[in-house]
Chains A and B, each alone.
Chain A
């Protein structure tokens, strides 16, 4: 029988590490349970970003979260990148490594976006083989996240949750359930987010993501630039009950507020962990309505150099 979280630790409530918070974290050592870092921001760094990460990794559990693996691409896997990722994981003592069920480009190009795959038997076979290869290479727990998506393909022969379930079971990997992405994609594809979450293999869910998004009325963009809205918290409550609780991480990538605000946001998760806790009324009730063209989702961040 598969143990909950595939036997991995529940690290508690964590925050995505962003460079604007470096100084605050080093100075104040906030009582955060763990940090998730964007792998690509550090794999090549030989300057301050890597030094800051080294100090943070000495005190906090670290998880590496990547955006460039391109597990669904028909291009060959990039073993230069994987080698650097493996080394960074070793140096930071990363609990696990994650990336997205997506592709980022073909023919040697990188769009730096998380592009959707058609959910077909061919894609499933392709992704499962590559997940196995990556897991064998990394020699560290590997989990894949459901991305937000904005299109679906006529060629798809199964729902996303069926694809994700079969992929995780056939490749024997973990899942990073991004609760906000389920909400975003379900809104965009006219599907039921609750059914998505209930249909997954819950014992394979190793981590949750939470984030805010931008609602443009006819569609939603996963901008990570705001508070988590109430319906997403409700989905989180369901996911928490179904899994028994897993490591939970808040992402905030644009219009980033001071660190205590970001930390406070993830601590709200405690309110949704008890089955019988009364619902509180101070969360975001309505989806935030965004003006068109406000924010572009950035899976990667540029770090402003310090120069004299």
Chain B
């Protein structure tokens, strides 16, 4: 232990290394990072932290160390409640604990704490065993993606109290300009494509049903927000292809062509009837701000 005065910067970096260490205060104080900053022999913590009448320096530091992970795990549970119920508390916490070490918060807001959780689950997916398809982690990743996006849409930009495209305005739009026109989607519209039907699973789990994890099957949905409530819309492959083009800024002609391609063998009349019905629904649900 050096007797030289310690700068505030050194004390803070040491304190952070100790209280955020996954091995607790003892592991933290003995970590290479903490030792580089303030070299202490085991049991020398009181050279930095005073003891109280009741607690040793290590016991006092443990209050911060315990709270660090407990607090952030609680937040992760709040962001991913359905994923937690799918995994069970113990497994979820083990994943989240490792995640918090790999992606510690770097923002003033907890709103970003879970933004890399889906990526983390992908990065740490186990190798498939012989004879297994190994896609089960996709279920977890898809579920995490759904829950994270619901949060983003809930508190992100919306269009409450703003004028939206109405059925009348769409009807009145000059037919000869239609193919070259562009629809402006609302900023809260998001498209999600899953490998597992996690939207249906999410609905069942929220209703308190104990449902086994589903088998793999493609699922596509749109998320949007109306009157501050997040809405989920299951989509077919042509609907998804169409809306994907809208979000990319394509013309109406291009978005219809994309839907037709995705619809495969559907005849023109059936597609036309479908398009009319889809636009009626999406305009009513406030997917578009305008057409121009």
Contacts and interface: CB of A to CB of B under 8 A. Distances in A.
B150 to A, nearest CB: 5
A151 B61 contact: yes
A150 B65 CA distance: 11
B68 to A, nearest CB: 6
A137 interface: no
A63 B79 CA distance: 27
Interface stretch (A46-54, A163-171, A205-213): A46-54
Given A46-B157, A110-B105, A219-B63, A307 B229 contact: yes
A277 interface: no
Contacts of B106: 108-110
Contact of A152 (B49, B158, B229): B49
A278 B150 CA distance: 54
Given A46-B155, A73-B12, A152 B50 contact: yes
A81 B12 CA distance: 21
A243 interface: no
Contacts of B109: 40, 43-44, 68, 300
A78 interface: yes
Contacts of A123: 8
Interface stretch (B14-22, B174-182, B272-280): B14-22
Given A111-B20, A150-B60, A218-B55, A74 B5 contact: no
Interface string B158-178: 101000000000000000000
Nearest to A73: B12
Contact of A155 (B11, B16, B156): B11
A172 interface: no
B2 interface: no
Contact of B9 (A47, A105, A106): A106
Contact of A47 (B8, B105, B156): B156
Contacts of A60: none
A257 to B, nearest CB: 19
A282 interface: no
A138 to B, nearest CB: 15
B8 A74 contact: yes
A117 B136 CA distance: 46
B5 A155 contact: yes
A189 B228 contact: no
Interface residues of A, number: 55
Given A112-B71, A155-B5, A306 B228 contact: yes
A188 to B, nearest CB: 6
A80 to B, nearest CB: 8
B150 A307 contact: yes
Contacts, number: 157
A305 interface: yes
B152 to A, nearest CB: 9
Interface in A244-258: none
Interface in A106-126: 106-113, 115, 117-118, 120, 122-123, 126
A289 interface: no
Contacts of B89: none
Interface in A46-80: 46-49, 51, 68, 72-74, 78
A69 B143 CA distance: 33
Contacts of B95: none
Contacts of A155: 5-6, 11, 48
B110 A40 contact: yes
Given A45-B155, A47-B158, A302 B78 contact: yes
A190 B9 CA distance: 27
B72 A112 contact: yes
Contacts of B154: 47-48, 305-307
B120 interface: no
Contacts of A106: 9, 12-13, 16
B210 interface: no
A303 B155 contact: yes
Nearest to B223: A307
A290 to B, nearest CB: 13
A151 B60 contact: yes
A296 B74 contact: yes
A307 B226 CA distance: 10
A88 B274 CA distance: 45
Contacts of B36: none
Interface of B: 5-9, 11-13, 15-16, 19-20, 46-50, 52-55, 57, 60-61, 63-64, 67-68, 70-72, 74-75, 78-79, 104-111, 150-151, 153-158, 160, 206, 225, 228-232
6 contacts: A43-B109, A106-B12, A120-B8, A152-B49, A154-B48, A190-B53
Interface of A: 40, 43-49, 51, 68, 72-74, 78, 81, 103, 105-113, 115, 117-118, 120, 122-123, 126, 150-155, 188-190, 218-219, 221, 296-298, 300, 302-308
- Top-6 shortest CB links A-B: A305-B154, A68-B108, A48-B228, A302-B78, A218-B54, A47-B155
